[in-house]
Chain A
Amino acid sequence: QVQLQESGPGLVKPSETLSLSCTVSGGSVSSDNYYWSWIRQTPGKGPEWIGYIYHSGSTNYNPSLKSRVTMSLDTSKNQFSLTMRSMTAADTAIYYCAHGDSYGGNEGAFDIWGHGTMVTVSS
């Protein structure tokens, strides 16, 4: 069973760059059918999808964040990562990494989530 664990700084200064990693256990980040995403959520609001990366390394991002976001795979560490530039207070949220299976019956959904990591943007 795939498990996910987010890691990264809990506090980022305005205008700086956020870097988060998601370590995958119980499966390979480069498995043919898996896709991976970052999703964030502020208290009292619905989740917001940030971006997606496929096992091949192809990506797609939320148009509202696309200019500031990059995702990548690190197969040697069995991780995928998120880089978000020019952070502002509006980016303060819980950041989750999530898994989906494009060949599984539940394609299009996220069946496994990390516990989430709180990121605060403040000077």
Chain B
Amino acid sequence: DIQMTQSPSTLSASVGDRVTITCRASQSVHTWLAWYQQKPGKAPNLLIYKASSLESGVPSRFSGSGSGTDFTLTISGLQPDDFATYYCQHYSSYHTWTFGQGTKVEIK
């Protein structure tokens, strides 16, 4: 089974900062990688799919990159609404899905 490992687990940042979150797969997942934002008491919300494509309606300050085993989610100019937990997720062509353990972005 493919494992998804995110780092860091927690990140402290200020409004306006550029923030980078990393997700590493235990073996190549090509670009079958998505990113979600989750706020307390809410369901996850899709931000990025296929590693670097921005979901409709998501602000352009969110961007994704990477392929194979190493991926990043970048928030360029952190906004107050962005303090949340972020998850990566891999999709396998065998129709299985695996999520990372999450990165919490906190106010510094």
**Count of chain A residues with Cβ under 8 Å from any Cβ of B?**
26
B53/A105 in contact, CB under 8 A: yes
Interface string of B77-108 (1 = CB under 8 A from A): 00000000001010100111111111000000
Find chain B residues with CB under 8 A from A39 CB: 97
Q: Which of B11-19, B43-51, B67-75 forms contacts with chain A? A: B43-51
Segment 26-64 of B: residues with Cβ below 8 Å from A: 32, 34, 42-46, 49-50, 53, 55
Judged by a CB distance under 8 angstroms, whether A26 is at the interface is no
Given known A-B contacts A45-B101, A46-B100, A109 and B94 have beta carbons under 8 A apart = no
- A39 to B100: give the CA distance in the assembly, Å: 13
Interface string of A103-123 (1 = CB under 8 A from B): 001111111011110000000
A-B contact count (CB 8 A): 70
B91/A109 in contact, CB under 8 A: yes
B43/A106 in contact, CB under 8 A: no
B32 to A, closest residue via Cβ: A108
Judged by a CB distance under 8 angstroms, whether A80 is at the interface is no
**Count of chain B residues with Cβ under 8 Å from any Cβ of A?**
24
Contact of A49 among B42, B97, B100, B101 (CB under 8 A): B97
B97/A106 in contact, CB under 8 A: no
- A38 to B98: give the CA distance in the assembly, Å: 13
Interface string of B2-27 (1 = CB under 8 A from A): 00000000000000000000000000
B43/A60 in contact, CB under 8 A: no
A113/B49 in contact, CB under 8 A: no
Report the minimal beta-carbon distance from A36 to chain B, rounded to whole angstroms. Answer: 12
Judged by a CB distance under 8 angstroms, whether A37 is at the interface is yes
Interface string of A16-55 (1 = CB under 8 A from B): 0000000000000000000101010000011111001010
Segment 58-110 of A: residues with Cβ below 8 Å from B: 60, 62-63, 96, 98, 105-110
Q: Taking beta carbons and an 8 Å cutoff, which residues of B are in contact with A?
A: 1, 32, 34, 42-46, 49-50, 53, 55, 87, 89, 91, 94-102
The 5 A-B residue pairs with the shortest CB-CB distance in the complex, in nearest-first order: A108-B91, A113-B43, A109-B34, A49-B97, A106-B49
